[in-house]
Structure 1
Amino acid sequence: MSELQALEKWAGGLLAQLSPAARRSAMRDVARELRRSQQARIAAQRNPDESAFAPRKARAAKGKKLREKKGRIKRAAMFAKLRTARFLDIESDAMGLAVGFAGRVSRVARVHQYGLKDRVAPHGVEYKYPARALLGFTDTDRDLIRDMLLRHVMKHNT
């Protein structure tokens, strides 16, 4: 039994005790917190297993200096726009929830999630990107889901 199926089986029993409106509310709250957790983890450049993302490949300077000071490469964190709420969507209803990327950025996210080949620029060279798991459950996320669902069940059963 996969990890998600076990979680679904456990949570399904708890959520069955709630009314559809209460289930919808619980799912919405859990989805929001999961998105926050995923955003923070992506900002920290960490995979779900807490290992660091594979570093970017060094590129040759083309008219611009990558190194302004000795030993320093000026670069911003990867996926800064991708992790915003605009692109990292949540969907929830009484039956479940989903956290994922929306629109055109979903292709970029999929390439990095699974380590696929893609063009670096339009009509540019192809490059096999290293896998950087943008979405996934950490142990903290599992605890968060459990605690939030228990809180909702306790609140609505009293």
Structure 2
Amino acid sequence: MADELNKLHEYANGILTQLNNSNRTKLAREIAKKLRESNRKRITAQKQPNGTSFEPRRPQAFRKKTGKIRRKMFTKLRTTKYLRISANSNCATVKFINSVSRITHIHHYGLRARVNKKDDWTIKYPSRKLLGFNQHDYNIIEQITIAHLASKL
């Protein structure tokens, strides 16, 4: 994937340097919006960027209610309130806001964390990649860049 990103960067770099800063910022913002939407759809479908499903929740032994947890994971994290974009003439960024970045960091990398503030229990969370690129995202970036450059000619 990194090789494909480098190829895309080399391909577009010469052309994009000819655009002024405001046009590059508009292009970066458009790319960031599309990537946010792509990641949002992936989180909704409970899929990782490579196409595999998230590891399901573990059964909770100390839960008083019986039955399976039916609610999907990360329902609030995929909203625009928490999944933000930023763009300037040099880069486009899709990230989670600071208040939820700790939770997303733990889940993304599969780290060990405390269950709550009161208890000293720690749990090793399975790795669930929340943000990332796949081939479809590279195609989106390429299409947006070509369309933007075609409109400027």
Deviations 1:47-95 (A, max 9, x none): 0000000111111253322x2xxxxx24211000111111111010111
- Counterparts of 1:62 and 1:132, CA distance in 2: 23
- Counterparts of 2:33 and 2:112, CA distance in 1: 31
Is 1:113–2:114 an aligned residue pair? Answer: no
Comparing 142-151 with 17-26, greater Cα deviation is found at: 17-26
State the TM-score, normalizing by the size of structure 2.
Answer: 0.91
Counterpart of 1:127 in structure 2: which amino acid?
A: I
Is 1:131–2:127 an aligned residue pair? Answer: yes
Q: Which residue of 2 aligns with 1:148?
A: 144
Q: Which residue of 1 aligns with 2:93?
A: 98
1:17–1:153 contact (8 Å) kept in structure 2: no
Q: Which residue of 2 aligns with 1:2?
A: 2
Deviations 1:36-55 (A, max 9, x none): 11001001000000000011
Comparing 1-10 with 14-23, greater Cα deviation is found at: 1-10
State the TM-score, normalizing by the size of structure 1.
Answer: 0.89
- CA RMSD in angstroms comes to 1.6
- Counterparts of 2:19 and 2:81, CA distance in 1: 31
| Aligned-residue offset at 1:155 | 0.7
Deviations 1:94-126 (A, max 9, x none): 111110111220010000110001112223310
- Counterparts of 1:21 and 1:5, CA distance in 2: 24
Counterpart of 1:111 in structure 2: which amino acid?
A: I
Secondary structure class of the residue paired with 1:144: helix
Long gaps (5+) in structure 1 = 68-72
| Aligned-residue offset at 1:11 | 2.9
